[in-house]
A and B are shown apart, each in its own frame.
Chain A
């Protein structure tokens, strides 16, 4: 095994893949009304970025990128915990997780 990473797959492919995943996440945020799905789409976007970071780490040949991914996971976990708690609270008060119901901020 002379090559540690399959350099035959150019890094551009990883860029393309993570961009695609990110865009799908954004699309999901825009077209769905269920808050829990939106939360999942955000996770998807975070993961696309993670993927990008790992690929950079691999192609640059150091570990720093992976450490960043580690921290992003930490943040994502915290975010999900708080976000779900908020959802539960909203559901308890409004009986729905539909974001269109959340229009109390109307000016």
Chain B
């Protein structure tokens, strides 16, 4: 039963922080709430026996991506509350559309047939060793491809962010 309580607690935190990301006034706060949201999701990962992924998640998202976001926000000096907002009408249209999408997705989820639960033989499904084995045997080629993707992204972002010089 404790796991149930933990799940609902984490779920409540996730939803609340996600809402705060969307509705908080300042981008800085949004970033902070998003970090909190990611931590709660990491908690879900631990609950789901994906320990390695939880760690990676925190390192990559909270540690790298969100720090990058934060730096950008500060760099662009967006920490102002004078950020322009949409009209009430378009906001409500957005909320209604999002809600309708939620309903439709929910309906879609309900109509799916979930497979039976099959218990894994060992407890270390989500450990580094298992994930690593999977990654370097079955998924070797995609794994190597990601490095190409990273190179491209790195070069691309450097080129884009560089101050344009008159040629």
Contacts and interface: CB of A to CB of B under 8 A. Distances in A.
- Direct contact between the two chains A and B in their complex (CB within 8 A): yes
Given A21-B15, A54-B44, A88-B75, A74 B150 contact: yes
User: Chain B interface: which size bin?
Assistant: 35 or more
A17 to B, nearest CB: 5
Contacts of A70: 53, 56, 131, 135
Interface string B1-43: 1011001000100110011011000010011001001100100
A61 B125 contact: yes
Contacts, number: 238
Interface in B27-79: 27, 30-31, 34, 37-38, 41, 44-45, 47-50, 52-53, 56-57, 60-61, 64-65, 68-69, 72-73, 75-76, 78
Q: Is the interface of A mostly helix, strand, loop or mixed?
A: helix
20 contacts: A8-B3, A9-B4, A11-B117, A12-B109, A19-B102, A20-B15, A23-B102, A34-B78, A34-B83, A39-B69, A40-B31, A41-B22, A54-B53, A58-B49, A60-B115, A63-B125, A66-B131, A74-B150, A84-B72, A84-B161
Interface of A: 1, 3-9, 11-17, 19-28, 30-34, 36-37, 39-41, 43-44, 47, 50-51, 54-55, 57-64, 66-67, 69-71, 73-82, 84-89, 91-92, 97-98, 100
Given A19-B109, A40-B31, A60-B115, 4 more contacts: A12-B114, A27-B97, A44-B37, A91-B76
